[in-house]
Amino acid sequence: MAKEFLDHLLAIRQQNVPYAVATVIDVVGSTSAKTGSKALINADGQIITGWVGGGCAESTACHAAQQSIESGETSIIEIDLDDEILGVGMPCGGHMRVYIEPTIPKPSVWIMGHGEVAEHICHLADMMGFSVIVNDAMAEPDKFPDATRLITDDIDYNELNPQPGDYVVVATQHKGDHQSMSRALASEAEYIALIASRKRSRLVMDYLRDKQFSAEDIKRVMAPCGLDIGARTPAEIALSVISEIVLVRRQASGVRMRDTLHRETPSPKVAAGGSSSV
């Protein structure tokens, strides 16, 4: 790859936004782009840099890139350059195959706080395939080895900037939890959890109402948070919270798997009273 293409690729990776790379893998006949030509395409279907041909080749590749970004799946598209019409572009008489490879950033779990519960949440979130950002002045690198990013100088929570689809867990042990919750609610985070006692949770909710957050906004806050698994230890509390995050991410029911058996449709043979072998 040319250095300019790599520079743009590294830049968009650092932005943590989705993108796709379109690569010409085969050409037949007369085409403006050649095998190996590449284009870097953003989620809006715009070419950031590179070249896969002009006219219908470019528009087709950009449209396919958008679809791949939405689905998260790679694809190979066929572009018949004889389809170009007068007024849009003279037909080249060639044919191209273009490989579209999307890159979808991992959703992030933002952990506000330190301590055993936060440490276990960090470890479990990493195991579940999330990017983990820990934001706390007292967070030590050796306590959060699985963190993608560690922020220790953000007293006003200005760097708490979760994106749509991200998850926020406030586990500050009452220190600044109302302030970090305000910042999280002002974002488009998918899920916002507050780990606190019921009394403290009520106080934080009252604070948010006083800050003129709407009832719909406040409904986004999980307080108390987590699934009811009878958690007592820090590790169990972390498991409860991560389980709820996975449930939200996968849009699941939280029902025991055994209790879902009645949803399964029996085979025609079994339904008719016949036997079934495994």
Average pLDDT over residues 231-250: 95
Helix (H) / strand (E) containing 99: strand 95-103
- The chain-wide mean pLDDT, for the chain, equals 87
pLDDT digits (tens, 9 = 90+) for 78-95: 988 765 543 444 455 688
Average pLDDT over residues 228-252: 95
Domains and CATH numbers, the chain: 16-103 (no CATH), 108-250 (3.40.50.720)
Phi–psi pair at 5, nearest 5 degrees: -65, -45
Question: How far is residue 239's CA from residue 246's CA, in Å, rounded to a whole number?
Answer: 10
Average pLDDT over residues 26-47: 90
**pTM: predicted TM-score of the whole model, two decimal places:** 0.72
pLDDT digits (tens, 9 = 90+) for 99-116: 999 999 889 999 999 999
Within 8 A by CB and 6+ apart from 102, the residues are: 18, 19, 20, 65, 68, 69, 71, 72, 73, 74
CA angle (108, 109, 112) in 5-degree steps = 135
Phi–psi pair at 222, nearest 5 degrees: -95, 100
* Lowest mean per-residue pLDDT among 89-93, 117-121, 173-177: 89-93
